[in-house]
Amino acid sequence: MSPTEVPTLGGVRFNFENSYARLPEKFYARVAPTPVPAPRLVKLNLELADKLGLDNAELASPEGVEILAGSRVAAGSEPLAMAYAGHQFGYFVRQLGDGRANLLGEVIGRDGVRYDIQLKGAGRTPFSRNGDGRAALGPVLREYIVSEAMAAFGVPTTRALAAVTTGQPVYRETALPGAVLTRVATSHLRVGSFQYFFAQGDIDGVRTLADYAIARHYPEAKQAARPYRAFLDGVIARQGQLVAQWMLLGFLHGVMNTDNTSISGETIDYGPCAFMEAYDPRTVFSSIDHQGRYAYSNQPHAMHWNLTRLAETLLPLLVAEEGSDEAGLASAHEALEKFAVHFEAARDVGMRRKLGFTQEHEDDGALVEDLLKRMAENRADFTLTFRRLCDAAAGIEGNQGVRALFADPAAFDTWEAAWRQRLAKESVSPEERAAQMRRVSPAFIPRNHIVEAALEAATEQEDFQPFEELLEVLACPYEDMPGKERYTMPARPEEYVRQTFCGT
């Protein structure tokens, strides 16, 4: 379907300023979203719309909802599906691409940053293969919930601008209500975008994409003596810091394929993602991760592997910069070795903050690892342990709340004594320390059983109140909220969610 087959609309002003559509057409397929019969707005992100300089009333109007559903094309939009490849659970697929997503265009936000506006679930594209190009309501709402929670945590992430239902079912194991998510990102460039051209031997395509990514995300690299090495360094640094943030929150991405690894350093594609409750570094939730490739503790290794694939695609450019094959390869290896440095530095700083330390001491790492070991042995809830440590830092009477999380409370007592000795080395008041800890250890996360209950209510009863209440709580995750205690509690045995699903 060509863009001209979908009605255009000039009344809703996005003020698109598109740059990706100016690249050669081998980078995408021009295709319009597929109209739906009865679009209905479920949720509009008012705060994000304002950040993007969009008019909330226009977006919520019937015409605006039709744009968000893919039934109309806004003025200035140049809808397209992006081309990319990717390693999926270690197996390379030469062509993936946007099989159910449609990039409407780019806008410049009030902060001066360029953002993609993309519809997810907007119908078939030339990259759909055997898929229907659609999305079900449950996965759309899951991505809305978790991506907005991540934004509230301060983690770089794509965000959700809107969710709409389509008025037509999609068919997975059963018939499900269809929906479209409007996703916002600083771009949708992925490691797989580079792999797509490299696999074809199209080094000019790799170079064009690298130049575009540098201009859009790493302008400082353009001024460097070796721009492509500086670009690789930048991506590695951002991804090292990003994965550290995931680990500090007990977050599992679930499907860390190279096509789900963004060049901008944002968390992208919330499929079978989840937040761990009882701490276990081997935790896996994804129903398709049969070997535990993307288990919680494997995430840093998986990201390093993905970045190695990016370095492979950039190798011809690095060789040209360095002047020889050997020097180019050495440059790539040198860059990749820094991933662990960035990851460990960010994780160490984050863990010190979560334990109330404002200075670095050489034994801090051992104290952190000892706590995590004891948490794993005693099935202590990850989020609650660190949140209740805030109360323990404020006064010794807070110990009881942490002890109660351990199967053997004495395991905490032994560690707590060493922790108190370490705290005594810093002249910080208990109140100030506790307040600092609360700013980095959330009270609320999207607990799996609560998310699933909200999705079930929405899809089976068309009751969106649980979804709305959960979003309200997660908007301020670091604040205590009297009357909202149930959102902080782990699942009871009968509520526990053992698997999460992609939804494709």
Q: Which residues are catalytic?
A: 259
Q: Which residues pair with 157 in a beta bridge?
A: 267
CA-based nearest residue to 384, from 363, 405, 369: 405
CA-based nearest residue to 120, from 107, 133, 106, 108: 133
What residues contact 328, with CB distance under 8 A and at least 6 apart? 315, 316, 318, 319, 320, 321, 322
* Whole-number Å distance between alpha carbons of 78 and 401: 55
Strands 159-171 and 8-9, how do they pair? unpaired
What residues contact 14, with CB distance under 8 A and at least 6 apart? 54, 74, 75, 76, 77, 104, 105, 107, 117
CA-based nearest residue to 1, from 111, 128, 112: 128
Tell me the CA distances in angstroms from 359 to 244, 341, 364, 385, 421, one per residue in order. 19, 19, 10, 21, 14
Is the Cβ–Cβ distance between 60 and 86 less than 8 Å?
A: no
What residues contact 492, with CB distance under 8 A and at least 6 apart? none
In which element (H, E) is residue 214 found? helix 203-217
Structure tokens at 443: 């009270």
DSSP per-residue letters across 396-436: GGGHHHHHTTSSSHHHHHHHHHHHHHHHTTS---HHHHHHH
CA-based nearest residue to 362, from 415, 422, 417: 422
* The residue type at 131: G
Is the Cβ–Cβ distance between 274 and 379 less than 8 Å?
A: no
CA-based nearest residue to 59, from 349, 69, 146: 69
Question: What phi and psi values does residue 135 have, to the nearest 5 degrees?
Answer: -130, 150
Structure tokens at 433: 């320390």
CA count, 13 A, side-chain hemisphere, 121 = 33
